[in-house]
Structure formats: C-alpha cells, structure tokens
C-alpha cells in the first residue's frame, strides 16, 4: 500500500487556484522531491498534506486513511506527519533534549529517556542534550529538528527547503546523512526544493511542478534523459535545441548532418521538431578543417564549457579538453544516444 495518496487535489487562496487537480502517490520508504520554480505551489501542497492548508477538491490519504477530502479534515497533529522547516523552528528556551521530546506524548519517564537516547544517537548529538539551540552550529540545529520530527515516529516526513540555510560545504554531507536516517527507519518523505541538484542527491523520485500541476513524475534519470517537455528538460540542466526533420524511425536530418538515434524516434517520417542535446552529448576534437568554431570558453574545474558555432547554430558543449581557444576550428560529433525530439 502506498504511504501517501494525493488524488485530484485542488487548493486556492481567496479563489486564486494554486493547486490544480494534482495527483501523486508515494510508496513506503520512498523519498519524493517536489521540484519547481518559486511560486508554483510546492509549499502549498506540503501544507495541504500536513493539514495546515485546506483543499477545495480531491482527497489526501496516508496509509489508506483519508485526511483531507469531501467533508473530511483531520487535524494536523493527528496526521502522524513530521515536519522539518528551512529555519529549523526550534524552541530557543528549551534544551536539545526538551526540543526533541516536545511532541512525544504518552510515554513514561524512562521510555522518554530511552526515546531521547535513541534519537541523539541517530542524529549524532550524544552528549549535547542539555545545550540550548543557540549553543549549536546550524547543522547541529538542523539535526535537532530532524530528531524532533522523528521522535514521535511519523509515518511521513515533510521537509520544506531544509538545506537552504546550510553552508554549501556541509550541505551535501548533511543531505546524505538525513537521507540515510530516513532510509534506516524506512520513513517516507516529501521534500520541497527549487534546486535540481538537491533533488538529485536527496530524493528517489522527482515530481516537477509547473503552475500548480505536476508535469512529470519519476526517477531522476528518466526525467533527465526522457523529459516530457522542454520545460522539464530545461529545468533539469543546460539544453541545446536544433531544428530537425525526421528521416526514418532512427535517423534525422539536422544542421549537424544526419544523426542516428539508439532508440526509435516517436515522430513520423517527414515531421519536423527540435532535437534536445545536452552539453555532454557532443564531443569536440581539434581539427583545422572542422566545420565548428569555438566562440567562447568557460573553465568549470573538471571540464570546460564552450560556446560553439556550426552552420549558424550556437551550441553549449562540455569537454574535458581544456585548451581550445576562441576562434579555433574544431570538429563536433554527437555521441550516439536515444535522441529526444520535441515536435513543432
Ligand atoms: N497565505 C497566502 N495567501 C495568498 N496567496 C498565497 C499564500 N501563500 C502562498 N500564496 C501564493 O500561492 C502561490 C504558491 O505559493 P507556494 O508557497 O506554494 O509556492 P512555492 O512553489 O513553494 O514557492 P517557493 O519556492 O518560493 O517557496 C504563490 O503565487 C503565492 O503567492
């Protein structure tokens, strides 16, 4: 059974539609990232799941129990949902231990202590339970907020941009750490972010939002390699598009010559469209007779990004070769892969 089922959910603020007939399911132990630009409705959906925002249509259930829907509204604290916010939202006047046990009810003194010890160990804060939040680093405070959210054993964890205030140096490590805690306890999670890089690291699946709707949902590889639209392709990384005409079920004609796909193309022979090429799907080689010319160069550490022109088409190409210079002639070849074409 899926942990979370969102069916056909709509929500609005004063008649202004924010979530528009949106559906999503989450399996037990799965982490999904709600990804999308600012204002597309990610936080609104998270609040609707948490019971902090009403819905005007559809149904939200956890483990088969309807929580928001037709004449049903289960209060936030009865949903079995843990939340971790961007700003940690710790109580400054309570110690680490008191913060962690804040939502834990119905346990006797010794069971509370056992739960606290278990949580401190899990988030690697043993020995710090008497400290106050202001005596901890940002990363440690975030771990307290995770321990607090996990302490009452939620069915589902909701995380709203929890890493945006964490230093870039420790962010990656922190994401892996929290991910492993969730996985260790088989807790399902919904994670809101506008960063594809965070979504790639933290989540099992991505749900990409566009104006209150999920436009594509699946694992990161599928969304990256087989985006359903240019919007999805652009959101997940640098893109180039070139005008093409389909020649056969595996070949197309382009300003870069005839290109062959390693998978059948969706379009009919004779159709026109835009071919998606990622920067790393092309290879550059020094060639005085080459048809392509280097226009610009950006050093990115392990690779260089070049702006290249061939037959009037500008392309962004990534290369491990660092020493091409603007004005230099090169040959450009497209690495064989399943070509993605968006119909005109
Ligand atoms: N309390 C509110 N009253 C009215 N409109 C609101 C309210 N909260 C959010 N909105 C509007 O709802 C839309 C979606 O907001 P939401 O916070 O869900 O977006 P988001 O995708 O999480 O954005 P961000 O990444 O910037 O947090 C926005 O247009 C926002 O202005």
- Res 316: pLDDT: 97
Distances (CA, A) of 317 to 238, 293, 296, 322: 10, 12, 10, 12
Q: What is the pLDDT along the chain (344 residues), one digit of tens a residue?
A: 678 999 999 999 888 899 999 999 999 999 999 999 988 999 999 999 999 999 999 999 999 999 999 889 999 888 889 888 777 678 999 999 999 999 888 889 999 999 999 899 888 899 999 999 999 988 888 889 888 988 888 889 999 988 877 777 778 887 888 899 899 889 999 999 989 999 999 999 999 999 999 999 999 999 999 999 999 999 999 999 999 999 999 999 999 999 999 999 999 999 999 999 999 999 999 999 999 999 999 999 999 999 999 989 999 999 999 999 999 999 999 999 999 999 98
- Res 85: pLDDT: 77
Task: Confirm or reject: Cβ of 162 under 6 Å from ligand 1.
Answer: no
- Res 95: pLDDT: 96
Q: What value of ipTM does the predicted structure carry?
A: 0.92
- Ligand 1, from 13, 198, 207: best to mutate by most atoms within 8 Å of Cβ? 13
Task: Confirm or reject: Cβ of 44 under 6 Å from ligand 1.
Answer: yes
3-state secondary structure of 295: strand
User: Shortest CA distance to 290 belongs to which of 258, 254, 324?
Assistant: 324
Task: Confirm or reject: Cβ of 41 under 6 Å from ligand 1.
Answer: yes
- Res 218: pLDDT: 96
- Ligand 1, from 11, 20, 38, 43: best to mutate by most atoms within 8 Å of Cβ? 43
Task: Confirm or reject: Cβ of 143 under 6 Å from ligand 1.
Answer: no
Task: Confirm or reject: Cβ of 18 under 6 Å from ligand 1.
Answer: yes
Task: Confirm or reject: Cβ of 19 under 6 Å from ligand 1.
Answer: no
- Res 9: pLDDT: 96
- Res 295: pLDDT: 97
Distance between CA atoms of residues 279 and 73, nearest Å: 48
Residue 40 Cα, ligand 1 centroid: separation in angstroms?
7
- Res 185: pLDDT: 85
- Ligand 1, from 44, 47, 55, 163: best to mutate by most atoms within 8 Å of Cβ? 44
Task: Confirm or reject: Cβ of 54 under 6 Å from ligand 1.
Answer: no
- Domains of the chain are 2-235 (3.40.50.300), 240-343 (2.40.50.140)
Residue 89 Cα, ligand 1 centroid: separation in angstroms?
19
Distance between CA atoms of residues 43 and 46, nearest Å: 5
- Res 1: pLDDT: 60
- Res 149: pLDDT: 87
Task: Confirm or reject: Cβ of 38 under 6 Å from ligand 1.
Answer: yes
Task: Confirm or reject: Cβ of 212 under 6 Å from ligand 1.
Answer: no
Distances (CA, A) of 233 to 16, 226, 230, 340: 28, 8, 5, 10
Residue 7 Cα, ligand 1 centroid: separation in angstroms?
21
């Amino acid at each position: 059974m899926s942990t979370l089922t969102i069916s056909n959910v709509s929500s609005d603020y004063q008649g202004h539609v924010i979530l528009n007939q949106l559906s999503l399911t989450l399996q037990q132990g799965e982490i999904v990232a709600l990804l999308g630009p600012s204002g597309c409705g990610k936080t609104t959906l998270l609040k609707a799941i948490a019971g902090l925002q009403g819905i005007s249509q559809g149904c939200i259930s956890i483990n088969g129990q309807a929580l928001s829907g037709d004449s049903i509204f289960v209060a936030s604290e009865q949903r079995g949902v843990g939340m971790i916010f961007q700003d940690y939202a710790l109580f400054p006047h309570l110690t680490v231990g008191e913060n962690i046990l804040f939502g834990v009810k119905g346990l006797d003194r010794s069971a509370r202590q056992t739960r606290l010890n278990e949580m401190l160990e899990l988030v690697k804060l043993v020995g710090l339970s008497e400290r106050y939040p202001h005596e901890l680093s940002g990363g440690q405070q975030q771990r307290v907020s995770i321990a607090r959210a996990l302490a009452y054993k939620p069915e589902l964890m909701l995380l709203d941009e929890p890493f945006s205030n964490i230093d870039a140096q420790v962010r990656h490590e922190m994401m892996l750490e929290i991910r492993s805690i969730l996985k260790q306890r088989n807790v399902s999670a919904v994670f809101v972010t506008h960063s594809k890089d965070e979504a790639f690291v933290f989540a099992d699946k991505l749900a990409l939002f566009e104006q209150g709707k999920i436009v594509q949902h699946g694992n990161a590889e599928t969304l990256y390699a087989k985006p359903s639209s240019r919007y999805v392709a652009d959101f997940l990384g640098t893109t180039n598009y070139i005008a093409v005409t389909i020649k056969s079920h595996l070949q197309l004609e382009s300003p870069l010559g005839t290109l062959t796909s390693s998978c059948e193309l969706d379009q009919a022979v004779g159709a026109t469209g835009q071919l998606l090429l990622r920067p790393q799907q092309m290879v550059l080689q020094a060639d005085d007779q080459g048809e392509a010319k280097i226009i610009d160069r950006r050093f990115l550490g392990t690779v260089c990004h070049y702006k290249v022109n061939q037959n009037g088409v500008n392309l962004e190409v990534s290369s491990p070769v660092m020493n091409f210079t603007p004005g230099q002639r090169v040959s450009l070849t497209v690495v064989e892969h399943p070509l993605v074409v968006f119909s005109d």
